[in-house]
Structure 1
Amino acid sequence: MPGGVFSETLQSITTTKLKELSKKRNHFENQKEALSFKLSNELDQRKKLQLLLHGVKQSFAVTTSITNKSASDNVTKLSSIELLVKNLEKFLAQAEYDPSISDRTLKQWEQNLMQHLNIQSSKHQYATLYGELVTEWLSAEQQQQADNIFNSSSETDEDFQKIKKETVARTEGRANWEKLVFEPFETDQIAIRSYLSSLFGMDEKNEQAKKALNALRKQVAAFGNDLSSPGQFNPAVLHWTINGLISSGLLSDEKRAALKDFLASPVILTEVADVLNMRLVSIDTWEWNTDLAVEQRRHLNGTHHMFIDEDLLEALFLQYIGVKWSIFFKKAFTDFSNFDGAWLKLNKPIPFIDQTRRDYYIGNQSGYPGSVQGKREKLYKSIYFMSQLPDSELDDQADADGAEEAEHQNIEKNHSLRQPAQKMPMQLQTILNSYNPACSNSDTAQQYSQKTRDLAPSNRNAPSVEVDTLFNDDSANSDKPPKTRMEIKQFLLHLLSTEIIINTSLHGEFTCARSEFESFSPSLPHSTIFCVFEFFGLSEKWLRFFQKFLEAPLKFTDDDISAEARIRKRGVPAAHALSAVFGETILFCLDYTVNQSTDGAQLYRMHDDFWIWSPSQQTVVEGWRSILKFSEIMGVTLNKGKTGSVRIASSETNKPIDPSLPTGDIRWGFLKLDPTTGHFTIDQSMVDEHVLELQSQLGDKKSVFSWIQAWNTYAGRFFTSNFGKPSNSFGRAHVDAMLSSFKHIQNLIFANTNVVSYLKDTLKARFGIDDVPDGYLYFPTSLGGLELHNPFIGLLQLRNGVYEEPGKLMSDLFEAEHDSYRNAKKAFENKSPQVRILMAQRYQKNLDNLDPENFMPFDEFISYREEVSVSGKVSLLEVYENLLKQPGKETAGWDEWDMVLAKAIEGGFASAFEGMDVGYWKWVIKLYGEEMREKFGGLAVVDKGSLPTGMVNLVRSGKVKWQG
């Protein structure tokens, strides 16, 4: 929200432009009114048109005249009104002599001129409205404070209950945080050292792990020395340090604005670098030089988090150190995981005898594409392994405002009863029924690619090459790797749903367990942190520095000035780069213990949120045991509300879940995994709870701009994020469920109306403006609109591109495998007896059970389909990758007239929509462009430069302040 000098500047600019606009509008409307009076008294159509033409020239200051013809008239670019006036002057001269020019034609010319006058009136009217909206917005906070004072003496019982609930939530949140942070929790460091020594091979049971650990310790010692060297800060370093700190969420709006000012001044950057270099030299004696204010902030999902308000120079110094250690440990732990023999691989080699038999019967397959197991390892390493640590100084994983996970509030604390044994989903039964060894379809492999295309229709309304070139639309590029934390979480759900489809089809069952550590950051024991870092070889100097950093003197901003600061004794501060280093270093030990205890299973972990799955329930059981042991030794606690497990079966046979696995549902955001179908469904009860909260938050917004910003963030981004991102593995039913949910949300909030009608009524009531076009609400602020987000459009762009029946890919694969088997068998049998004798002689020495005459059984042919691609045009890897794909976006088709309107935007379409989802805006423009053209003569509501739209966009880019 706006504040301080920036707010005053924006108000001053808006007031100045509104005054100038008011002068122009009054002058124009006075001329228009006088002209209308003259026209009403003129009955001759030709004279009437001459009067109107003259009045239009005066109103628009058009100087074009047929008497001033020059050679450049044909090449000078004229505005539409100038061109119209110039032509009508010529046509009226013709009408003076040509009796064939009818009154009907003259009347059409009159209507055309009047339309230009009315359009200009609309532009002035909506430019004034925009300025009034800015003024309303800038005064909203001050008005809110005044309302709070008034309401304190005249509040209703409903108001009182609402305030009481908010106060209780904040008080309880603070009390729980203080109980964790200011009360030390001493873990058993002897037990931790013993645990780590055994885990990392110091007991001589894993020599390769021991070697990898020694290499890691050497790296830690060397880097600690390098980071202490002087002269590391300079303006270039400060640029990435400042940008990272701005996006971290640690600082207030005012301090972020100050840092942006730093970036604009080379002199300031040089001075800051000098000061920070001095601090680096004396890092041995560094300590907090003042008490740190603690601010309690409410997140959109209803939780309260504590943030430290630091001195800017201190924050920059710690950001640099934190990022440097983060990058180092990301690489060091990656090196450890790649150390030969230390980290157990998921993708294991095929046993020698089995591989030799495959080579004899079907030939060497090393030239075929990779395997599903290899793909799993690649995705894990590139996306989830140490995902909270950056690869470089320029990495930015910050989520947009509103992209955060919803919290499930109604949690059953005692999950003593399990659900009945899961039955096979109908989709999986269809797949398995189709997997009949006796079936034969010779064209299956050849038709597979076409079948997958039929499942996901292509973009039939794709824009022309000219449109793509002009607008640089990359909306079809749907398979970009996930970057932000929210994208990484949502891709995990795609992975899980893909694994459910594949594993229940191939292995008959699938088990998954997930959990999250309770209040991990504020509860992490300092004794655990120091013990783990010491084990990894951190020097005494850096251990002392980290201890001083953690043991900070804290004092709440709400406290009385006389209150004393208290020393942090447990946990790490929120939003700090160093906090990520502490957390990820300890949790690396969790990753490794799960890897070792499960013979290479992957723990999909996003900071303190982790998932483990396998077709083998025993693998998950072993992994869960190692998780419980880690938690007990390290002094961290699992969050019962985020803990659960499921065993999904693909047959009618009851397969009870192991009692050692945790009870509870598998949930994420508004999604709940149905243990019977294996599908994620939307929990409507959770949605309804957040709809009530959204209503409350919207009611707290006192300006149209802030209301729309809250709506876009909550109703748009928050709900969209927590419904899960559409993918082929989710299927089209998921998109339909999202569309229905958004319709349900609007029906609950607006009862008998909708968001558009509500805003139109609001504009009429507050500013007296009527007949507002729908497009004005949805068009971007860069064109003078209000930029209300429509969540239906983005989903409808995706819907037709999603597989309607994702599981059908597996039944198609089974058919293709039989076809590949027949082809391989035929190729083997077609070899001459001499060739088979030579081959048998070559392989017989390694195989006692080689049958040189009869081809390998079908079950053996497909036995390693996850480890290697079976020869043929279709493989399990192709199915896996297709299921993981996200649908490409369809956009509304454009014609030549749409192109003309887009090109007519002052500054160009690309400039007006820079950094936006172009496909979305093409849809909006096609949907509302015609009414906008009729109202405003084009796509722009106001003329460029008439109002401070750029500054408004800058302020609106800030985070919403939520009530409570």
Structure 2
Amino acid sequence: MVSSNTLTETLHTVTGIKIPELRKQKQAYERAKQSLLEKAQNEADSRKRVQLLLDGSEELPGIKDLRSHPLFNIHHLWFFVEQARFDPSVSDRVLADYEKTVRNQLDAETANYDFTELYGELVKEWTSSNNTNTTDSESVFVSLGHEDMHQQRATLKEYVFHAKETDTTAIKAYLDEIFANNPSKEVVSAFEKLQSQIKEFQTNWDRSSHFETEGVTACIENILDSSVISDSKRSALRGFLENKIVISEIKDAMNMRMAARSSFALDGPTVIEQRRQLNGRCRFYPDEDLLQMIFLQYIGAKWAIELKRALTEFTFADGVLKSPSGKLGKQALRRRQFFLGNGSALQGGSVEDNNDETWRADVFLDQLPNGVEYNWMDDEDKPEYGYEEAYLPQNTRNSRVLLHRIQAHLSSIFTVLRYFGVQEEWIHLFKKVLEAPITFKDDAPDSAPRVRKRGTPIGTRLATFFGEFVLSCVDFAVNQKTNGAKLWRMQDDFWLWGDTEVCSKGWDTLTEFSHVMGLDFDEEKTGSCQILAPGSDEQANANANLPSGDLVWGLIKLDAASGEFVVNQAKVDVYIEALDLQLKACNSIFDFVLTWNIYGCRFFLQNCREIDVSTTRQQLHELLETLRRIQSRVFRSSNGSVEQHLKRMIQDRSGGSDIPDGFLYYPPVLGGLGLENPFIYLNLFTHSTAKSSEKFLEKLFKDEEKEYRSRKQIFEELGTGNESSGQTIDSDVSGDNPEKSQSRRAAGGFPEPTGEWADLRDEPFMNELTLGIEYSSQAEARTSWNNYEKWVIQLYAKEMEARFGGHFAIKKGLLPAGLIKLLLESRLTWKN
């Protein structure tokens, strides 16, 4: 895959070649069209005039095949006009309508040419904007950005070059308390097995070949999926993948380096590149030698896979994790199986069960890859360490409550590694990687490299491995010290919920862990919230040692009064200012569209609550009202309308006028600009949300009651051997006919009231347990268009058909549509 710079240059060149050719075709068409219209004007007979237009339209240069046109079929009209030669019932009014249809189609072809030329000019402006001088508005943006970037770089240097001393003895004592000296024999036994597995993994490291073709390819592809590397190195790696000889040479070099890993040394200082993220924050990415990057990627992946396998086996071994007191005990589970049958009673479905399943599948060590040697690319959409509320992928959980950043002294990391059984050979190699001499790309040329003393490089597999190794300890510590609560963690962002006592113990555990390991909490993003039932006399956070800040995530915060997440309007105000700056810095129409799509649409939607079955109409309306407020502020001179603002930009820059809305919003494959409308994304859910949370819960309870009655009826109809319950049961299915009763119970998956189940024979149907019901959204069948695209096409279809004679705004083949699509999908580069 070529770099975006090369792609831009290619698109600029190809478009420059195609636009003159397009103008030639347009001029030829307009001359022939004008000649045809003049001939038609001189024809007085209406039927002959329509016939002339029909015959002549097929001869016009560059016109579409009108015989297969979806809306205008010239073949059909020709038959109708031929009928009018002899049939007086085809009136002049009908013929006039036919003539109007033909003339409209000729004008639609003109519109196609006009907007294809306009589109080409916009592409040309876009691809040449990188070489133009900055505008005044961009200069303002640059000065603000540089000041902020210098500040953030100075802050980082204070961390990475100055060690925060930690007590390795205290770290080992802390780890002993939760692992080796745990009061639970099951924990101690499982941990000893974990240490043994990690040692065995190291012993077996060289018993098989490491770098084969598949392994090198997987490493490269995994690196390409990250945001670490520069554009030029991304292009080089793509080139590696396309050359088998290069891959073979890399394989040999990597195996030689692996054999000599005991004398591993870095290939010179690591250059740190500072990049601005969508949220205005900067991230610092290592710019390493490509072969070194591939080598360390492989080691990081192998260790990460082994760590996840070993920790998963340890954590879910019998008796290791504590369960919260609210979970059903063995007797309660037996009752569910007896009364509800094997087919349903053991399926779970309670809130606690669902939480456990979600935690295990999506939260527990979610940064580490699954699978075997080459299967480590299943998490390519997961954000990297050091990432904050920037461009959130759609599958990101809304789980941000306790936020804290890894700023550990390196001795903390090495102490944890040694405690789990990592041997000195590997400690030596990891020490070389972490204590790397580094320079910053924007430092003075004569700046001497300085050794990293704190933290880890972001965006690499090894960094993820180190982070998860350390933080997995606090996952387990919280579970043990809160008697069963689970820490919901995404990288170094935590949240914990439960009663006041559980949260207080959890916070104390986190505080103790951070103190021992030399970590700091980000106080601005740390808080707590107690939600009380209406009329409750309990004081909020009474006697609890909890942080006092708000619980915020992206652009929302948890409201204690309602118990629901609401839009954080103060954060929205900051977002509006940033969005306004980003849009004003755009040098072209396509830059504006891309910036709006990513920052004005997706960033907003993905930093608010996820729309699901629990979303209420009120919450949806709050988001829609916030969107309207954002646009009214950013586009105040255009009546709060992004489309009116964009139309005016096009008119000012390219002279285009009378631009249909569909041209802005239609997808690029149909010749539109692909402007995204966040209102549509939200309105897709308007009719599937509950009017209020109370209504949602009311429906939930009614459904539970209905399910309870249904289950009870099934149980009573099958019979239980209970003759004294006062129930009226048909003799064929009651205790009067035990054989038939038992066969029907067995057929229904219900245990017989005999043997180990005999104690439940005379029990009435369960009346003190509540049935849980699982809710899941049903995915609609998809065609080539997703629901958003279908909405856009249907919303503007009539306008586009009237203007262009169909859905295509531009003429196919006259612009490099493939290159345009590739560049539109490339990463957006923010101007600093």
**Normalised by the shorter chain, which TM-score bucket?**
0.7 to 0.9
Matched, 1:610 2:478: no
Task: Give the CA deviation at 1:375.
Answer: 2.7
Range with greater deviation from structure 2 (823-832 or 659-668)? 823-832
Structure 2 equivalent of residue 277 of structure 1: 255
Once the two structures are superposed, the pairs formed by residues 444-843 of structure 1 within 5 Å of their partners are 487-490=395-398, 492=399, 514-517=401-404, 519-520=405-406, 523-614=407-498, 616-656=499-539, 657=541, 658-751=543-636, 752-804=639-691, 805-809=695-699, 811-812=701-702, 815=705, 831-832=723-724
Structure 1 equivalent of residue 749 of structure 2: none
Q: 1 CA distance for matches of 2:145 and 2:341?
A: 68
Q: 2 CA distance for matches of 1:845 and 1:258?
A: 68
> Which amino acid is 2:486 matched to?
Q
Structure 1 equivalent of residue 355 of structure 2: 376
Alignment partner for residue 147 of structure 2, among 149, 153, 168? 168
- In the alignment, is the contact (CA less than 8 A) between 2:392 and 2:607 conserved in 1? no
Judged with a 3 Å threshold, the aligned counterparts in structure 2 of structure 1 residues 230 and 569 are, in CA distance, closer, same or farther, namely farther
Range with greater deviation from structure 2 (290-299 or 816-825)? 816-825
State the TM-score, normalized to the length of structure 1.
0.75
Task: Give the CA deviation at 1:803.
Answer: 2.6
Task: Give the CA deviation at 1:348.
Answer: 8.0
What is the DSSP-based 3-state SS (H/G/I as helix, E as strand, rest coil) of the residue aligned with 1:800?
helix
Judged with a 3 Å threshold, the aligned counterparts in structure 2 of structure 1 residues 853 and 327 are, in CA distance, closer, same or farther, namely closer
Once the two structures are superposed, the pairs formed by residues 140-159 of structure 1 within 5 Å of their partners are 140-143=129-132, 146-147=133-134, 151=136
Matched, 1:36 2:25: no
- In the alignment, is the contact (CA less than 8 A) between 2:267 and 2:292 conserved in 1? no
Structure 2 equivalent of residue 206 of structure 1: 184
Task: Give the CA deviation at 1:593.
Answer: 0.6
Judged with a 3 Å threshold, the aligned counterparts in structure 2 of structure 1 residues 605 and 52 are, in CA distance, closer, same or farther, namely same
Judged with a 3 Å threshold, the aligned counterparts in structure 2 of structure 1 residues 961 and 108 are, in CA distance, closer, same or farther, namely same
Q: Deviation per CA, 1:680-724, whole angstroms, max 9, x where unpaired?
A: 111112112211110110000011111000000011111001111
> Which amino acid is 2:149 matched to?
R
Task: Give the CA deviation at 1:180.
Answer: 0.3
- In the alignment, is the contact (CA less than 8 A) between 1:245 and 1:319 conserved in 2? yes
What is the DSSP-based 3-state SS (H/G/I as helix, E as strand, rest coil) of the residue aligned with 1:789?
coil
Alignment partner for residue 246 of structure 1, among 224, 231, 244? 224
Alignment partner for residue 79 of structure 1, among 68, 72, 76? 68
Task: Give the CA deviation at 1:343.
Answer: 2.2
Judged with a 3 Å threshold, the aligned counterparts in structure 2 of structure 1 residues 642 and 635 are, in CA distance, closer, same or farther, namely same
> Which amino acid is 1:831 matched to?
E
Structure 1 equivalent of residue 113 of structure 2: 124
Task: Give the CA deviation at 1:757.
Answer: 1.3
Q: 1 CA distance for matches of 2:410 and 2:195?
A: 21
Judged with a 3 Å threshold, the aligned counterparts in structure 2 of structure 1 residues 341 and 321 are, in CA distance, closer, same or farther, namely same
Task: Give the CA deviation at 1:790.
Answer: 1.0
Judged with a 3 Å threshold, the aligned counterparts in structure 2 of structure 1 residues 941 and 829 are, in CA distance, closer, same or farther, namely same
The CA RMSD measured in Å over matched residues stands at 3.7
- In the alignment, is the contact (CA less than 8 A) between 2:500 and 2:544 conserved in 1? no
Q: 1 CA distance for matches of 2:79 and 2:182?
A: 100
Task: Give the CA deviation at 1:176.
Answer: 0.7
Q: 2 CA distance for matches of 1:196 and 1:282?
A: 33
- In the alignment, is the contact (CA less than 8 A) between 1:294 and 1:307 conserved in 2? yes
Q: Deviation per CA, 1:37-57, whole angstroms, max 9, x where unpaired?
A: 333344343453454344323
What is the DSSP-based 3-state SS (H/G/I as helix, E as strand, rest coil) of the residue aligned with 2:630?
helix
Matched, 1:59 2:49: no
State the TM-score, normalized to the length of structure 2.
0.87
What is the DSSP-based 3-state SS (H/G/I as helix, E as strand, rest coil) of the residue aligned with 1:586?
helix
Task: Give the CA deviation at 1:240.
Answer: 2.7
Q: 2 CA distance for matches of 1:37 and 1:354?
A: 90
Judged with a 3 Å threshold, the aligned counterparts in structure 2 of structure 1 residues 796 and 365 are, in CA distance, closer, same or farther, namely same
Instruction: Count residues in correspondence.
Output: 792
- In the alignment, is the contact (CA less than 8 A) between 1:396 and 1:484 conserved in 2? no
Q: 2 CA distance for matches of 1:406 and 1:570?
A: 23
What is the DSSP-based 3-state SS (H/G/I as helix, E as strand, rest coil) of the residue aligned with 1:296?
strand
What is the DSSP-based 3-state SS (H/G/I as helix, E as strand, rest coil) of the residue aligned with 1:489?
coil
Task: Give the CA deviation at 1:524.
Answer: 2.0
Q: Deviation per CA, 1:418-477, whole angstroms, max 9, x where unpaired?
A: xxxxxxxxxxxxxxxxxxxxxxxxxxxxxxxxxxxxxxxxxxxxxxxxxxxxxxxxxxxx
Q: Deviation per CA, 1:611-654, whole angstroms, max 9, x where unpaired?
A: 1111x321222222111111111110111111111222225232
Structure 1 equivalent of residue 6 of structure 2: 5
What is the DSSP-based 3-state SS (H/G/I as helix, E as strand, rest coil) of the residue aligned with 2:414?
helix
- In the alignment, is the contact (CA less than 8 A) between 1:397 and 1:485 conserved in 2? no
Range with greater deviation from structure 2 (540-549 or 820-829)? 820-829
Structure showing greater relative contact order (alpha-carbon pairs closer than 8 Å, 6 or more residues apart)? 1
Task: Give the CA deviation at 1:329.
Answer: 1.1
Q: 1 CA distance for matches of 2:177 and 2:700?
A: 43
Task: Give the CA deviation at 1:731.
Answer: 2.2
Alignment partner for residue 818 of structure 2, among 937, 941, 950? 950
Q: 2 CA distance for matches of 1:204 and 1:106?
A: 93
Alignment partner for residue 379 of structure 2, among 396, 400, 408? 396
Structure 2's unaligned 5+ residue stretches are 727-733, 739-752
Q: Deviation per CA, 1:259-290, whole angstroms, max 9, x where unpaired?
A: 23333333333333233223222222222112
Q: 2 CA distance for matches of 1:106 and 1:760?
A: 37
Task: Give the CA deviation at 1:772.
Answer: 1.3
Q: 2 CA distance for matches of 1:705 and 1:922?
A: 23
Range with greater deviation from structure 2 (309-318 or 754-763)? 309-318
Judged with a 3 Å threshold, the aligned counterparts in structure 2 of structure 1 residues 235 and 953 are, in CA distance, closer, same or farther, namely farther
Structure 1's unaligned 5+ residue stretches are 65-76, 408-482, 494-513, 892-908
